[in-house]
Structure 1
Amino acid sequence: MMIQTMSFLIVANVNPLEYSGPAWSPYLVGALIGCLSMLTFYFSNKPLGASTAYARVAGMLGNLAAPQHTGRLKYFRDNPPKVGWELMLVSGVMFGAFAAAWSGGELTGRLLPLMWQERFGVDSGLLRIVVAFLGGGLMAFGARMAGGCTSGHGISGTLQLAVGSWIAAIFFFIGGIVTAMLMFA
């Protein structure tokens, strides 16, 4: 992946440090994510992944709401809910996204992007929140069913040349293309 990105940069004659957009350069960020993944393997012998964090949060919430039921579930007996490195990674991603939006001049404070307003109207804030939560829930469910999320399969798994991760990554892109075509049609 890194070699493909670097060859694209050479062919396109693009300097990743001189990105003209307001956001951070996607080439530089992609290279940094690759470095982070390699360092994570080197220092902790663990792949990057975020979906386990959501399962741990669900377990912690389950311990608050129904501790006896949560304690009987095999998954949470084998993987006790706790604040682990996965949850810290997700927290870091959220902090990093905020820092990137703020430093890139893209922190708008708007609930509804202009594209959403044009498609669904100005008064569709509740619809956006419901769609976002449903989409997030479906993605979390899919990630748990697939044995990993986009970062687990798409970054760490492909880096290890895992066939299942390559298949998952291909379908991530297909799903993204179909979604973009539906949204921008």
Structure 2
Amino acid sequence: MKPSWIPKGLFLGFVFFVSILLVKPIGISTQYSVTSGIIHSVVEKDIVVQKGKEYISRIDYYNQDGIARSIANPYNFSMVFIAGVFIGGTLGRIIFLKNKYFIKENEKLEKDSISRMRLFIGGVILLYGARMAGGCTSGHMMSGVMQLSLSSIIFTIVLFPIAIFIAKKVGE
């Protein structure tokens, strides 16, 4: 008997609701912008300055979505979230490798570095497009749809058919 997806979906929805209620919507792509800003601040020390209680930058991009504040104070919920995604994925891979419900990689894909590179480039393009829409895949598809954000709903409606098509092509 296969495990039911309903309790898992309800649990995930609960986690997102609690995150939005207590901290902020879950998303990860902004932290890549913060990381680039942290690297930038090593080269130019005054890229982010504090004025009163606010942090501002002469780079307009850093002044949106709290990026300037996160550059100045990088130890925050989102950086912990990034570490948790990496650690959780690694632990899941190790723990559930032998589980009969764990989806194993396509053997052809494991041996084909060109396919891996195509998938990597596709992921970069997806991340770039999501940032252009003001978020990331997790931010748009989970937190954004939960908040009924129009850009998130459009992103999700466009992404799903494309993702299904690509998944079928890669699986062939």
**TM-score, normalization: structure 2?**
0.71
| 3-state SS in 2 of match to 1:155 | helix
Answering whether residue 23 of structure 2 is matched by residue 31 of structure 1, we say no
Conserved 8 A contact 1:54-1:140? no
Cα distance change of structure 1 residues 59 and 132 upon mapping to structure 2, 3 Å threshold: farther
Cα distance change of structure 1 residues 70 and 30 upon mapping to structure 2, 3 Å threshold: farther
Answering whether residue 60 of structure 2 is matched by residue 90 of structure 1, we say no
Which residue pairs with 1:115 in the alignment?
Answer: 108
Question: Is 162-171 or 144-153 further displaced after alignment?
Answer: 162-171
Answering whether residue 112 of structure 2 is matched by residue 134 of structure 1, we say no
Among all aligned residue pairs of Structure 1 and Structure 2, give the percentage whose two residues are the same amino acid.
26
Which residue pairs with 1:43 in the alignment?
Answer: 22
Which residue pairs with 2:166 in the alignment?
Answer: 179
- C-alpha distance after superposition, 1:27-76 (max 9, x if no partner): 444333211111112212x2111111111112122234x42696642223
Counterpart pick for 1:67 among 30, 44, 47: 44
Conserved 8 A contact 1:48-1:156? yes
User: How far apart, CA to CA, are the structure 1 residues paired with 2:133 and 2:35?
Assistant: 19
Aligned-partner residue type, residue 13 of structure 2: G
Cα distance change of structure 1 residues 181 and 130 upon mapping to structure 2, 3 Å threshold: closer
Conserved 8 A contact 1:70-1:76? no
User: How far apart, CA to CA, are the structure 2 residues paired with 1:166 and 1:39?
Assistant: 21
User: How far apart, CA to CA, are the structure 2 residues paired with 1:106 and 1:58?
Assistant: 38
Aligned length: 152
**TM-score, normalization: structure 1?**
0.67
- C-alpha distance after superposition, 1:73-103 (max 9, x if no partner): 2223563222332222121111111122222
Which residue pairs with 1:9 in the alignment?
Answer: none
Answering whether residue 156 of structure 2 is matched by residue 163 of structure 1, we say no
User: How far apart, CA to CA, are the structure 1 residues paired with 2:5 and 2:126?
Assistant: 23
User: How far apart, CA to CA, are the structure 2 residues paired with 1:128 and 1:83?
Assistant: 36
User: How far apart, CA to CA, are the structure 2 residues paired with 1:103 and 1:178?
Assistant: 30
Aligned-partner residue type, residue 139 of structure 2: G
Q: What is the deviation of 1:173? A: 0.5
The structure with more strand, counted as a fraction of residues: 2
